[in-house]
């Protein structure tokens, strides 16, 4: 039996389902294969569940410390089973929304393991599907490091940690990228003794070094332990020896050292988008790749925003200060403590840093409440080559975090 389609898509994550919905809405006959749940890693085992738990952890922290705002909250308890239940409710609700969008776009969705035979054929459950165009969006999986292979009980992946039966007393997190930083915040907020081990010189090594140093300072005040330029030397009976000679005995270990592409070899003529493309492993990058493929709307990959969630948020795009030659740029900088809104909200830690060359913004680095939203304002200016002089003409509302961008431009 052979069926024919205009487009065949393997993988139902952000890249795959976006491509399917946009193509289906154009009237194309589309088949989408997903062996697990629609939504991919982002919805089911990544962005959405992590941010849901992170929000709960911050709410827990706020209630515990509400006394300084004149609010008394006694006997604040945490029911971890309800946290997991809430996480699952959010996932299910969003998944149903995506499934409905696929249905409305008349996409044929098949829950099965699929194999791309060549650039015109896909096989699933013994059936061949002829497709004029094939898109592979099979995503990525947690990277396995020698000596830190997941046993799913003591050595956990980012998948495993989302389904803990109970909160641990202590945790060691290996790696300080987005996953490591966000889970450190979650665990610390819930009162878990938290330690990070990072091989690089600073935490969050992909960020501007000033951002990394600020996060290190914040973590120190929050009593989150961390070791930089350090690795795990050996593990014996759940006792971990670090390369600096120190020994720690965490209840569990989260290994968060990157992700591996879900692909054996590329087939010529097949389009690869999302994590499996081997480019930037972010859901919004995957979505833009899908739209570029289907709608032909290009985007500037170098201006893909990066965001780390929690309090305060961390967001950046463009050039980092360490990427620029000395004296070739101008640095515009304002502390969040200079803003009225930050004091109103008790969110004074952080800064807005804008880097310019020839009156044009080339990089933005923000540590602040609402940093993810603030960055988008700067991105619009960057992508459209709006000069800093033109930005100064805009009236920013007061009191807001946004006016920090305006203030920074005058520094």
Residue 1 confidence (pLDDT): 64
Measure Cα distances from 317 to 177, 302, 386 in Å: 15, 8, 16
Strand partners, 361: 356
Structure tokens at 163: 């389904």
CATH number at residue 212: 3.50.50.60
CB atoms within 10 A of CB 150: 16
Residue 3 confidence (pLDDT): 84
Q: Please tell me whether residues 203 and 289 are part of one structural domain.
A: no
Distance CA 246, CA 240 (A): 8
Structure tokens at 316: 């950046």
CB atoms within 10 A of CB 187: 24
Distance CA 114, CA 122 (A): 7
Helix or strand run (H / E) with residue 174? strand 170-174
Distance CA 286, CA 365 (A): 22
Measure Cα distances from 165 to 49, 50, 80, 160, 309 in Å: 15, 16, 8, 10, 24
Helix or strand run (H / E) with residue 364? strand 360-368
Q: Please tell me whether residues 90 and 189 are part of one structural domain.
A: no
> What value does the mean pLDDT take over residues 343-348?
96
pTM above threshold 0.85: yes
Measure Cα distances from 240 to 152, 167, 168 in Å: 17, 20, 16
- Residue where a domain stops, chosen among 236, 267, 295: 295
Distance CA 238, CA 195 (A): 15
> What value does the mean pLDDT take over residues 104-118?
97
- Residue where a domain stops, chosen among 273, 295, 317: 295
Q: How high is the mean pLDDT of the chain?
A: 96
Give the residue numbers spanning the domain of 375.
303-409
Tens digit of each residue's pLDDT (9 = 90 or more) over 369-382: 999 999 999 999 99
Phi-psi region of 107 (alpha: psi -120 to 50; beta: other; left: phi over 0): beta
The answer to whether the beta carbons of residues 150 and 144 sit under 8 Å apart is yes
Distance CA 58, CA 411 (A): 33
Banded pLDDT at 392 (limits 50, 70, 90): very high
Distance CA 181, CA 183 (A): 6
Residue 359 confidence (pLDDT): 95
Banded pLDDT at 282 (limits 50, 70, 90): very high
Banded pLDDT at 73 (limits 50, 70, 90): confident
Number of structural domains, the chain?
3
Q: Please tell me whether residues 291 and 336 are part of one structural domain.
A: no
> What value does the mean pLDDT take over residues 240-256?
97
Q: 275: helix, coil or strand?
A: helix
Q: Please tell me whether residues 382 and 311 are part of one structural domain.
A: yes
CA 294 distance to own-chain centroid: 24
Largest CA distance in the chain: 70
Distance CA 134, CA 156 (A): 34
Determine how β-strand 252-255 pairs with β-strand 170-174.
parallel
Q: Please tell me whether residues 97 and 203 are part of one structural domain.
A: no
Determine how β-strand 232-236 pairs with β-strand 121-124.
unpaired
Residue with the two structure tokens 């665990």:
187
> What value does the mean pLDDT take over residues 92-108?
98
Residue 241 confidence (pLDDT): 96
Q: Please tell me whether residues 291 and 326 are part of one structural domain.
A: no
Q: Please tell me whether residues 313 and 215 are part of one structural domain.
A: no
Q: Please tell me whether residues 12 and 104 are part of one structural domain.
A: yes
Distance CA 42, CA 141 (A): 11
Q: Please tell me whether residues 93 and 200 are part of one structural domain.
A: no
Terminal alpha carbon distance of the chain = 68
Determine how β-strand 259-261 pairs with β-strand 121-124.
unpaired
Tens digit of each residue's pLDDT (9 = 90 or more) over 31-61: 999 999 999 999 999 999 999 999 999 999 9
Banded pLDDT at 265 (limits 50, 70, 90): confident
Structure tokens at 410: 């005058």
Helix or strand run (H / E) with residue 377? helix 371-383
Q: Please tell me whether residues 16 and 98 are part of one structural domain.
A: yes
Sheet containing 247-248: order of strands: 232-236, 239-242, 247-248
Residue 93 confidence (pLDDT): 98
Residue 33 confidence (pLDDT): 98
Q: What angle do CA 144, 150, 153 make, to 5 degrees?
A: 160
Tens digit of each residue's pLDDT (9 = 90 or more) over 352-364: 999 999 999 999 9
Determine how β-strand 127-136 pairs with β-strand 252-255.
unpaired
Residue 68 confidence (pLDDT): 87
Q: Please tell me whether residues 340 and 381 are part of one structural domain.
A: yes
Tens digit of each residue's pLDDT (9 = 90 or more) over 308-325: 999 999 999 999 999 999
> What value does the mean pLDDT take over residues 161-187?
97
Distance CA 30, CA 171 (A): 45
Q: Please tell me whether residues 282 and 309 are part of one structural domain.
A: no
């Amino acid at each position: 039996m052979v069926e024919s389609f205009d487009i065949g898509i393997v993988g139902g994550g952000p890249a795959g389902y976006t491509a399917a919905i946009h193509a289906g809405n154009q009237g194309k006959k589309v088949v989408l294969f997903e062996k697990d749940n629609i939504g991919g890693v982002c919805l089911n085992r990544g962005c959405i569940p992590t941010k849901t738990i992170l929000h709960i952890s911050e709410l827990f922290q706020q209630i515990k410390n509400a006394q300084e705002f004149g609010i008394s909250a006694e006997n604040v308890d945490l029911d971890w089973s309800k946290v997991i239940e809430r996480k699952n409710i959010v996932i299910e609700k969003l998944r149903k929304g995506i499934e409905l969008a696929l249905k409305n776009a008349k996409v044929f969705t098949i829950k099965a393991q699929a194999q791309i035979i060549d650039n015109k054929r896909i096989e699933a459950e013994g059936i061949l599907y002829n497709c004029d165009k094939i898109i592979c969006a099979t995503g990525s999986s947690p990277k396995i490091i020698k000596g830190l292979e997941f046993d799913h009980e003591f050595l956990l992946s980012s998948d495993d940690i989302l389904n803990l039966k109970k909160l641990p007393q202590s945790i060691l997190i290996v790696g300080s990228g987005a996953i490591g930083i966000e889970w450190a915040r979650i665990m610390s907020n819930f009162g878990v003794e938290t330690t990070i081990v990072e091989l690089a010189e600073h935490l969050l090594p992909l960020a501007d070094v000033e951002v990394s140093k600020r996060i290190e300072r914040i973590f120190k005040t929050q009593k989150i332990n961390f070791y930089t330029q350090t690795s795990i030397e050996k593990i014996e009976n759940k006792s971990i020896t670090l390369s600096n000679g120190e020994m720690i005995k965490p209840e569990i270990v989260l290994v968060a050292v990157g992700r591996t592409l879900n692909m054996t070899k590329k087939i010529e003529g097949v389009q690869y988008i999302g994590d499996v493309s081997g480019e930037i492993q972010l859901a919004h990058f995957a979505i833009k790749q899908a739209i570029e493929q289907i709608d032909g709307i290009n985007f500037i990959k170098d201006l893909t925003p990066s965001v780390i969630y929690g309090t305060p948020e961390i967001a950046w795009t463009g050039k980092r200060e360490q990427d620029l030659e000395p004296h070739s740029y101008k640095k515009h900088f304002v502390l969040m403590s200079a803003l009225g809104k930050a004091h109103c909200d008790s969110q004074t830690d952080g800064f807005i840093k804008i880097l310019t060359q020839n009156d044009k913004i080339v990089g933005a680095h923000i540590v602040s409440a609402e940093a993810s939203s603030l960055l988008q304002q700067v991105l619009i200016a960057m992508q459209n080559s709006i000069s800093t002089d033109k930005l100064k003409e805009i009236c920013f509302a007061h009191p807001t975090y946004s006016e920090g961008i305006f203030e920074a431009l005058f520094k």
